[in-house]
Chains A and B, each alone.
Chain A
Amino acid sequence: MTVTATTTETTASEATAETQVEPGKGMRFVNWGANYIEDRTSLSGFVKELGRKIFPDHWSFMLGEVALYSFVVILLSGTFLTFFFQASMTHVVYDGSYAPLKGVGMSAAMASTLDISFDVRGGLLMRQVHHWAALLFVASVGLHMLRVFFTGAFRKPRELNWVVGFVLFVLAMGEGFTGYSLPDDLLSGNGLRIIDGMVKGIPIIGTWISYLLFGGEFPGEAIVGRLYTLHILLLPALVVAAIGVHLILMIVNKHTQFAGPGRTQGNVVGVPIMPVFAAKAGGFFFIVFGVIMLVASLVTINPIWNYGPYDPSPISAGTQPDWYIGFADGMLRLIPPHLETELWGFTITWYILIPIAVLGLFIVLVAIYPFVEAWITGDKREHHIADRPRNAPTRTAIGAAGVTFYAVMWAAASSDLIATHFRLSVEGVTHFLQAALILGPIIAYLVAKRVCLALQKKDREIALHGFESGRIVRLPGGEYIEVHERLSDYDRWRLVSYEDYAPLMVRPNAKGRITTGTKIRGVLSRWFFEDRIAPVTRSEIEAAHHDH
C-alpha cells in the first residue's frame, strides 16, 4: 500500500503542481480499483519499474512495432476466420453462391473458404485483412531486421535478442506458408506439390518424410488438417513465446539510441512510457490496423475463386508463392540444368540439395553474424549507441551484398512476369539473374563500401571546416574563397561520435605462438577495418580553427 502512495506522490510532484482537491466520484472509484488490484498483485512495483521507462524516438525504431501490431491484427482476424473455416479435405460438391464454381467438386476447406468470402458479411474483409496483415507482418519483420543490422544494434548485449528475432522471422515464414496452403485452392495446392517435390529430393529419408507429412501419397486427405494445427496452435504459440522473450530482453537491455548531444553509452534519452510513448505506440497500433483495414477494403488478395479447387492436373501461368517464400522459389529456378546423379542406384537430386544448402547457409549466416563480428573486433564492451550505416563501411557493404543476393533470388521467383512485362525472354531473364546472383553481391559490396567511405570523408570535412555557405568572398590578395559556416557543437557531435576500429596486430600469445585462430582473426579484421576513416579528434578541430 505504502508503495502506491509513494508512486502517486512521485507522479504528482513530476506533473505540474496542481492544487489538491477533493477527488470526484469517478476518481474515488479508480482509486478503489487500483487499491483492490494492488492488494492482490503488488502491481505497483511493476508500474514503478516500467511506467516511466524511456524510449528514444526515431522512425526506424517503430518498425518492430509494425510487426508486433500486424501480428495482433493477424490474431484478431484469424480468430474470426476459425469460427467459419473447416480444415477438412473431405470431398464436397460446392453449392454456394459463386456461380462459376457451382456443382464443382472440392474439399470442405475450399468450400468453407468460399462461403467465408461470399456468404458471411465481413467474411471476405476479414480474409483480406488476415492475408494482407500476414504479408505486412513478414515485410515489417524483414525491414526491422535490416534496421537492426545496418545500425549495429545486434552488438553486445543484444546478440541473443538478434537470434530470437531471427527465429521469429523463420516462424513468421512458417506461419505464412501454412496459412497460404489452407484454402486448398489451385495455387496453394501447387505450392504444396512443390514442397512435396523438394521433400522427396532429400536423400535417404525424403520419400518417407513426404509420405508421413501428407498421410499417404500426395495430396492425400490429411495435409490441410495438419497444417491447420501448426498454423493456429503450434506456430502461434511459439511466435507469442518468442515475442515475449524478445520484448523482455528489449526491456532488460533498454533500447539503443542514435548518437546525439547529451546521449551517451550510459543513458537513454527519449520519452517516458507514461504518457507520451503509450499514446504514440497505442495510437500507432490503431494506425497500423487502420492501414491494413484500408488496404483490405480496397484491394483484392488471393482471389481463390479464380484459382478454383486444387486438382493435380491444371495450373495457372504465373504460379508463385507469397513474397516471403519467393527467395526459395527463385533459388529453385536459378539452378542450372541436369544436376542429378545416380550412385549405386540411389538418386541424388542436386537441383534440390544445392538450393536448400545455399538457402540454409544464407540464413545461418544471418543468424550468426553478430557473433562473427564480435569475434573479429574482440570488442567486449556493451554498445547502446546505434551506428550510422556509413560509420561501419564493411558491415554496411556486407549487408548490401546480402540484400542483393536475397533480392536476386526474389526477382527470380517472378522471372516469367519480368519477361512478359518488359518484353524479354524467360531464358534471358534467368541467365541474367544467374549471373547477377554471383556478381550482384560483389558489385553491391564494393559500391556500398565506397559510398560509405565517401560519406564519412564528407562528414569529416564538414565537421572540420563547416558547411559551404554559398557566400563568396574576395580576399585582399585577390583570391576568391567560399565562406564555410562552422557547425555548432551539437551538430558536430553527431558527425564525430562513432566507434573507431583498427586492424588486429597479430602477435604471439603467452606461449610465443601465433594460433591459426589469431591468424584468421587478423585477416578478417584487416578485411573489416583496413579502409577506415578515423573520427575527427579534438586537436584536429582546434587546428582547423586556427587555420581560419
Chain B
Amino acid sequence: MATFAHRNRRSGRRSPLTSAALLLIGLLATGGAYAAFTATSSADAASQTQVTKLTEEGEKLFAANCASCHGLQAEGTEDAPTLIGVGAASVDFQVGTGRMPMAASGPQAEQKPVQFTEEQIAALATWVASLGPGPAIPDERYLQGDGDLAVGAELFRINCAMCHNVAGAGGALTQGKFAPGVVGVSAKHVYEAMITGPQNMPVFNDANISPEDKSAIITYLQYLETSTSPGGLELGSLGPVSEGLFIWIFALGGIVAITVWLTAKSN
C-alpha cells in the first residue's frame, strides 16, 4: 500500500537524477565561468567558495525551518536530538524523503511530500555536515544497481527482511511504529538509510555491510521494483494473510454466487 502511494507521489516530481544533473551542470557552469574570469584561481578554490555559499544558505534555512526543535546550533532540545555529527547523508535522507520537518508528533516521522528543493536540501546537508564528521552523501557508483544480485538478495533476507518483509512490503514494529515498504525508494535514500539508521532503524555501517554489499542490496531492491511476479498479481506481497482473504472473498464468494445461479429455478 505504502509503496504504491509512494510511487504515485514520486511520479509527480522531477526525477532525482534530473535534479542532480541540473545541479551538476549549474555547478560546472558557475565554476567554469569563474575559472575563465580568474584564470589564476584553482578549481579547488572555486568549489570551496561554492561550499561556503551553500553552508551559509543552509544555516539560514536551518534557522528558519529546523532550529525551533533542533536548536539554533543543531545542539538538540527536549523535543529533538542533536544533529551534530549526523552527517550530510542523514539530512539528505530525512529532508529528501519529506520525513523532516515533522508535521506532527506521532509514533514516528513519516514520509510526506518533500518541502524543499534539491538545492535547499543540499545547502542544509552541507551546513549540518560542517558541524561535525558524519556519513556523507553516497558516491554515485554504489547507486547504479549493478551489484551482485544474489549476494544482495541474501543480505537483504538476513539484515532487512525481518522488518521490511522479504518482498520489501514493510511490517509492524512496537508501539504503532512500522518499517516502511522499501521497493521503489530511490537508491540514494536506501543507501543513506543504511548508513545513518534513521529513527529506530539500526545503523549498518561500512564495516557491517560494505559499500559493495550495500550496492548489491540496492540492486536486489531495483530487481524487485522492475520485475513483475511470474505468478501474476502479488496481493501486496503480504503472504498467506492476503492469500487467505482472497480465497474466501473472491474465489469462494464467486463460487457461492455460481451455486445460487446453479440451483435457482430456470425461467
Residues of A within 8 A of B (CB): 57-63, 66, 99-104, 117-118, 124, 128, 132, 135-136, 139-140, 143, 186-187, 280, 284, 287-288, 291-292, 295, 297-303, 306-308, 311, 313-324, 326, 413-414, 416-417, 419-421, 423-428
- Nearest to B257 among chain A residues (CB) is A59
Give the distance to chain B from A370, nearest Cβ to Cβ, in Å: 25
Number of interface residues of B (CB under 8 A): 59
**Can you name 8 A-B residue pairings with CB atoms under 8 Å?**
A104-B153, A128-B232, A284-B262, A287-B262, A303-B237, A308-B166, A420-B171, A427-B175
Name which residue of chain B comes closest to A56, CB basis: B263
> Could you say which of B40-48, B89-97, B154-162 contacts chain A?
B154-162
A323 x B248 contact (CB < 8 A): yes
Contact B158 A306 (CB under 8 A): no
Bound Cα distance from A419 to B255, whole angstroms? 31
Q: Assess the A101–B248 pair: CB atoms within 8 A.
A: no
- A102 near B150 with CB under 8 A, answer yes
Docked Cα-Cα span, A288 to B107, in Å, equals 46
Complex partner residue of A321 from B107, B237, B240, B250, CB under 8 angstroms? B240
Rounded to whole Å, the gap between the CB of A315 and the closest CB of chain B is 5
- B107 lies within 8 A of A136 (CB): no
Complex-state Cα separation, A53 to B195, whole angstroms = 74
B161 touches A420 (CB 8 A): no
- Flag whether B165 is at the interface (Cβ < 8 A): yes
Chain B residues contacting A414 (CB-CB under 8 Å) are: 241
Measured between alpha carbons, how far is A322 from B164 in the docked complex, in Å?
20
Given A299-B246, A317-B179, verify A66-B255 contact (CB < 8 Å): yes
Task: Output the least CB separation between A146 and chain B (Å).
Answer: 12
Q: In the complex, how many angstroms separate the beta carbon of B101 from the nearest chain A beta carbon?
A: 21
On whether A299 and B241 interact (CB within 8 A), knowing A99-B149, A140-B252, A316-B165, the answer reads: no
Interface check B81, CB cutoff 8 A = no
**A37 vs chain B, min Cβ distance (A):** 31
A59 and B175 alpha carbons, distance in the complex (Å):
46
B232 is contacted by which of A299, A314, A323 (Cβ under 8 Å)? Answer: A299
- The CA of A450 and the CA of B243, in the complex, are separated in Å by 35
A124 to B175, CA, bound (A): 39
In the complex, which residues of chain B have a beta carbon less than 8 angstroms from the beta carbon of A298? 232-233
6 closest A-B pairs (Cβ-Cβ)?
Answer: A317-B171, A323-B244, A300-B231, A425-B176, A416-B172, A100-B153
Determine the distance from Cα of A102 to Cα of B149 in the docked complex, in whole angstroms. 9
Establish whether residues B231 and A416, one from each chain, have CB atoms under 8 Å apart when the complex forms.
no
CB neighbours (8 Å) of B258 from chain A are 284, 287, 291
User: Judging by beta carbons under 8 Å apart, are A136 and B247 in contact?
Assistant: yes
- Choice from A287, A299, A316 contacting B166 with Cβ under 8 Å: A316
CB pair B229 A428 closer than 8 Å: no
Q: When A302-B243, A320-B241, A321-B240 are in contact, do A139 and B233 touch as well, CB less than 8 Å?
A: no
Nearest Cβ in chain B — how far from A181, in angstroms?
13
Chain B residues whose C-beta falls within 8 Å of the C-beta of A280 in the assembled complex = 262
List B residues 222-267 near A (Cβ within 8 Å): 223, 229-235, 237-241, 243-248, 250-252, 254-256, 258-260, 262-265
Partner of B247, one of A60, A100, A132: A132
B183 CB to closest chain A CB (Å) equals 11
* B233, A300: Cβ atoms closer than 8 Å: yes
**Residue numbers in A under 8 Å from B166 (CB-CB):** 186, 306-308, 316
Tell me whether B220 is interfacial, beta carbon within 8 Å. yes
Give the nearest-CB partner of A416 in chain B. B172
**Cα separation A128 to B231 with both chains bound (whole Å):** 8
